[in-house]
Structure 1
Amino acid sequence: MLSVLQHVRNRGDIHRALRPCSRNTEHLYGFSATRTETVDKRGPAITPSRTCSGKRYNVPPSAEFVARVSGIATMGKLPYQNTADGLDAAFIGVPIDTGTSNRPGARFGPRQIRAESAMLRAYNSGTRAAPYESLMVADIGDVNVNVYDLKDTCKRIREAYRTIMATGCIPLTMGGDHTIAYPILQASAEKYGPVCLIHVDAHADTSDVVLGEKIGHGTPFRRCVEEGLLDCKRVVQIGLRGTGYSPDAYEWSRAQGFRVVQVEECWFKSLASLMAEVRAQMGSRPVYLSFDIDALDPAFAPGTGTPEIAGLTPIQGLEIIRGCRGLNLVGCDLVEVSPPYDTTGNTALTAANLLFEMMCVLPKIKYYD
């Protein structure tokens, strides 16, 4: 951001690129502003300093002053840094689709989500959350995956998340296919013990072996149960639907103690009451939120690898995430965005907004009354 501003200043156009604020700029735009000399009738220019409420936080540049199309794409146009050191939360990409069983392309998901996230602004108008006045957040790039070896990729993910979580940082993950939840939850359980899980998806992802393989995007939560990574009495799966390989595709989930909320239970209703029950069930335990974009109906999110008709609406997706407010969230992911099947970019745009909403329900977030 600073390099862009310096370039504009060197061209003598700073006062056309940065307009003065008519109100308190710190409250309105999420950063404080210092005034410079007046050079035309429009008044003094302002220069963002990335401070907020008297504290130093990373604050994205406002599109009122810096064009959305400018700069290198990071999540929400946040600063990039190499590690999670000093961060309360971090956006991180895991660009794989090696575990995909149908349409590929999710390896490009993090890149496209970042591009579409340029539309995001600093405040949540619906909940009045102010994440950039609450947490130090940055984009820490992608895990260096091995696109030729899924098992090695899982090892790399697990090691990367051990390092991230050791700093106390909460990871907000952009997938990638749903295989990534398995090594992330391995790292989570090492730090917190068995964690609670809110799993939003069209599919249960509890298969045992698929085409002779035990690791893939249809098996992560079976592996997690086998390794004792989950508090099975506090696992909720929401939005499950579609055809199955047996008359009851979710029998195994229920046998483990999972609460299964099939999509038919969600049709034509608000999910606020469901989430009140989920919050009571989770209590104060560490909770991981895993959101597969195919939980949403493909009319809203067609850019995914395994679409199923008659899914959740984006409104219900927001209700689920906002319903996590007050929980002890220790990590979140948004997976299975496949840009080759996302011809308008709306699936990635929806994913970016859902990730922003996840950040807005993390512990210690400030809300305006």
Structure 2
Amino acid sequence: MFSSLLALALPLVAAHQHRLHDVGTEEWHTKYGDQHDLAYTGPLSFMHLPYAKCLEDASHAFDIAILGFPFDTTTSYRPGARLGPQAIRLGSSIGRGHTLSWGSSPFDFGARMMDCGDVPLTPMDNAKAIDQMEVAYSTLLARPVQGETKSSTAAMAKDGKEHPRLVTLGGDHTIVLPILRSLYKIYGPISVIHFDAHFDTSNVAGHTGQERISHGSYFTIAAEEHLMTNTSIHGGIRQKMGGKDMVEHDEAVGFAVISTEDIDDYGIQAVIQKIRDRVGLGPVYLSLDIDVIDPGMAPATGTPEVGGWTTREVKRIIRGLSGLNFVGCDIVEVAPAYDHAEITSRAAAGIVADFLQMLQADAPPKPHVGPWLED
């Protein structure tokens, strides 16, 4: 009796297993196509760009590269910016396309862009970490370009060769010192556009050794080393100072100052034009501290100052600087532990996306023509 029932059941079990096998072997690609990444899936790279550890793999040619400097051991107030690069990448995951503001996408210009990951910086020895940053930056500056970008760096370079441009994700603001040291080897002294709530030109008289270098003094050190021209400019300054001597010292370092209130008194277009006139036609580096934005819109930073520019104002200014001879740029001081609903990391990611277009555009984009201007 049992053997008869077993004989009847075995074919049914085999048929069921065969149906499961058929379902399991149906190929995904045949039915659904590529295994593309959604906005919230896939490896973590900026705007889903191709990713490589470029410092150990020299096979990649690129025109523009994203590079993370997870460093924050020269901060004077709240730490945490070493986590900034990954937070900015996460904030960029939502989109990578055409915008009305630009009238284009970062991918429309033909440049080969990629994310070169983060430099493994020691958190135990600032002098070594600063050297690691300089070596890493110089290594990537020496890589070949693909040559598809519209803008050229060859005419500005001492060696007459084309060099890639790096968009660096900080990290605290001290990362700019090793960057300027690297760029100086290629281009000589550089004009710096510096968006920040603070001067970052603290007088280091009386300080010795590594104590002289912090996220508030690196421009002073850069000036001592003749890495910058005297045609640099700050934008968004509103810090509380110990006295007028700080303003005088800042001028001696080589900066002109646009305060945070100047945007109200003179307007965005006047701010843009003043910056363009100041830096001229030579090589230009742009450094943006996220605290230039009001902490109501970007709270996740180490030294917040109330009364800052809006995210929209900053993005408009960046668009207006297109066509200058940029050799690189950075965004720094994003400390995600102090963020709410990722608003700071998303603001930073949006600004970096603007950097990618700014580096490639020949001129500022024309304003969007809205329906109120139609005949």
The TM-score range, normalised by the shorter chain, is: 0.7 to 0.9
Structure 2 match to 1:228 = 226
Which of 112, 119, 128 matches 2:94? Answer: 119
In the alignment, which residue of structure 2 is the partner of 1:197? 192
AA of the residue aligned to 1:87: F
Counterpart residue number, 2:358: 361
> What is the total number of aligned residue pairs between the two structures?
316
Which structure has the greater CA radius of gyration? 2
What is the match of residue 283 of structure 1?
280
RMSD: 2.4
Q: For 1:180-206, what per-residue CA distance to the aligned partner results, in whole angstroms no more than 9, with x for missing partners?
A: 000001101111000011000000001
Asked if residue 161 in structure 1 is aligned to residue 156 in structure 2, the reply is no
Q: Which residue of 2 aligns with 1:74?
A: 45
How far is 1:117 from its partner? Answer: 0.7
2:116 and 2:352 map into 1 onto residues whose CA distance is 15
Question: Could you tell me whether the CA contact under 8 Å between 2:140 and 2:164 is conserved in 1?
Answer: yes
Determine the C-alpha separation between the residues in 2 that align with 1:76 and 1:98: 28
Q: Normalization by structure 2: what TM-score?
A: 0.79
Distance 1:272 1:71, change over 3 A: same
Paired AA for residue 362 in structure 1: L
Q: How much has 1:123 moved relative to structure 2?
A: 2.4
For 1:125, the aligned partner's letter is L
In terms of fraction of residues, the more helix-rich structure is 2
* Residue of structure 1 equivalent to 2:4: none
Query: Relative to total residues, which structure has the larger strand share, 1 or 2?
Result: 1
Distance 1:191 1:262, change over 3 A: same
Aligned residue among 276, 298, 311 for 1:301: 298
Q: Deviation digits for residues 70-126 of structure 1, max 9, x if unmatched?
A: 111111111102227410000010001101110111000001111111013222331
> Which residue identity lines up with residue 118 of structure 1 in the other structure?
S
Gaps of 5+ in 2: 1-23, 144-162, 367-375
Question: 1:248: Cα distance to partner?
Answer: 5.1
Query: Who is 2:217 aligned against?
Result: 219
Provide the secondary structure at the position in 2 that maps to 1:231: coil
Q: What secondary structure, in the 3-state scheme, does the structure 2 residue paired with 1:132 have? A: coil
1:29-80 deviation line (CA, Å, top 9, x unaligned): xxxxxxxxxxxxxxxx5x59xxxxxxxxxxxxxxxx6321211111111110
SS in 2 for 1:250: helix
- Which residue pairs with 1:147 in the alignment? 123
SS at match of 1:122: coil
Please state if 1:272 is matched with 2:269: yes
Deviates further, 256-265 or 345-354: 256-265
Indicate how the Cα distance of structure 1 residues 368 and 341 shifts in structure 2: closer, same or farther if over 3 A, else same. Answer: closer
* Equivalent residues of 1:131, 1:365 under 8 A apart: no
**Structure 1 unaligned residues grouped into runs of 5+:** 1-8, 18-44, 49-64
- Give me the identity figure in percent: 36
2:358 aligned counterpart, secondary structure: coil
C-alpha deviation, 1:271, in angstroms:
1.7
